Amino acid sequence: MLSNIAARDVETLVHPYTNLATFRETGPLVLERGHGVWVYDTDGRPYLEGMAGLWCTALGYSNEELVEAATEQMSRLPFTHLFSGRSHDPAIELAETLKELMPVPTSKIFFTSSGSEANDTQVKLIWYMNNALGRPRKKKILSHRKGYHGVTVATASLTGLAANHADWDLPIPGFHHVACPHHYRGAEAGETEEAFSQRLADALEAQILAEDPDTVAAFFAEPVMGAGGAILPPADYFAKVQAVLDRYDIRFVADEIICGFGRTGNWFGSQSLGMRPATISFAKAVTSGYLPLGGISIDEPLYRAMLDESAKLGGFGHGTTYSGHPVACAVANKTIEIYKRDRIIARVAEKAPHFQARLTALGDHPLIGEARGIGLIGGIEIVADKASKRQYDPKAAVAARCVAFAQAEGLIVRFLTGDRIAVCPPLIIEPDEIDTLFERLTRALDRTAAWIKAEGLEAMPAA
């Protein structure tokens, strides 16, 4: 029987990315407080937050400086907006700071309230820019299968996951998907990572030519693919892709919503993965997840096109109420100050070898086919047979069962498509806590193996 608070939840809330039918029986995990890398439920039980909330709580929980920054701004100017030429110092300061941090030439910053809004804005501005440049046909957008870019109509179309399209009447016309750069799953027998990357780059070029390069406007990519499986592409993949995009004047957009602000051991994942995008989308860790804030970098050519269209039309017809919210911007300013002062990004690079060694070691577990990551992010894939890479029937929900066992062990991780599990702890995690995380995840995998044996689950037939 559900507790009172759980029953209230079931009767009042709709939970994103949840099986709404089975949820009525299982109910929620209700969290009450958090400190550092730990969160506590209503019974006081601790859990190591191995997903940094939702890839975002980089500085952990209950950081007093962030709370104070929000409180101080709330008492001074709790709200104003950026419409019609209004402004405020927190937004100006944050834009100045972000311009300096961006690894791409940046003229301006445009703020949103989320990553979905940031990528949606990217799409709109790409169309807007090409109209300004007299290229009304150059509007098609490319992205990866298994890529994740948001849940608005446009960004869910960008997203390359079946669950985000099925029965939503998506993707809308003009959005196309290319092969996922996952060597473990996509490589041909004996194919090296370099050969695999070249084959995908050649396929990308062939698709652009088939579509007509004069109709293809942009390519979106995450440095590390998050919700699609915590997938790390081959080291030379983006260099080969970049060469194709440059040949056909196709704008490269880096979705840094998960990887931005230190996750990979650099300020941005683009720096770690050798990407040279024209523009970057950011959100999540810019405020350590404490308040909703996202945005995009705007390069000078795009800004010039925006100026021309604004002059022609009499205004720039885009924006949302909470873009550049003063309290969110104040928290973001303090967050970045802490990143710099406390060497958070440098310390991620220092801790990454230990984290990655523990992650790689999971590849020896009988259930794990791949264990790979970068910085303080990684993914593992559960398989029924290591040699053939055959999987269990998706209906068995093996990864979901493993995540439930992990929760029972006092660890929060996330299951993803294809029986993959993501690990993405707060950046402040200490080495002994990294050990605790992987010890608990190993026990969860052991319990999963025992459950599989008890249930008599077998590998899916070979394709």
What pLDDT is attached to residue 292?
98
Query: Does residue 460 lie within any of the structural domains?
Result: no
Q: How many CA atoms lie within 13 A of 377 on its CB side?
A: 26
Count of domains for the chain = 2
Asked, for residue 296, whether it belongs to a domain, the answer is yes
Is residue 417 assigned to a domain?
Answer: yes
Q: Examine the fold and report which residue of 312, 341, 370 is the final residue of a domain before the chain moves on.
A: 341
Report helix, strand or coil for 370.
strand
Residue 245 CB-half CA count within 13 A: 22
pTM above 0.95, yes or no: yes
CATH number assigned to the domain comprising residue 191: 3.40.640.10
Q: Which of 275, 308, 341 is the last residue of a domain?
A: 341
pLDDT band at 463 (very low <50, low <70, confident <90, very high): low
Q: What pLDDT, in 10s, does the model give residues 107-144?
A: 999 999 999 999 999 999 999 999 999 999 999 999 99
- Give residue 389's domain range: 4-62+343-455
Q: CATH number, domain at 440?
A: 3.90.1150.10
Tell me whether residue 463 is in a domain. no
d(CA 312, CA 411): 55
Residue where one domain finishes, among candidates 341, 373, 404:
341
Chain CA centroid to CA 407, Å:
22
Q: Are residues 192 and 267 both part of a single domain?
A: yes
Q: Is pLDDT of 214 > 90?
A: yes
Residue 461 forms part of a structural domain: no
The count of other CB atoms within 10 Å of the CB of residue 14 is 7
Both 19 and 38 in a single domain? Answer: yes
The span from the CA of 278 to the CA of 275, in Å, is 10
CA R_g for the chain: 22
Domain identity same for 294 and 329: yes
Q: What percent of the chain has pLDDT over 70?
A: 100
State whether 124 and 266 are in the same domain.
yes
289 and 395: one domain? no
Predicted confidence (pLDDT) per residue in 38-85, tens digit: 999 999 999 999 999 999 999 999 999 999 999 999 999 999 999 999
Strand order in the sheet with 140-144: 108-112, 294-298, 279-282, 251-255, 216-221, 140-144, 175-178
In a domain, 393, yes or no: yes
Q: Are residues 212 and 86 in the same domain?
A: yes
Regarding whether 255 and 174 lie in a shared domain, the answer is yes
DSSP for 307-362 reads HHHHHHHTS-----TTTT-HHHHHHHHHHHHHHHHTTHHHHHHHHHHHHHHHHHHG
Pairing of strands 175-178, 140-144: parallel
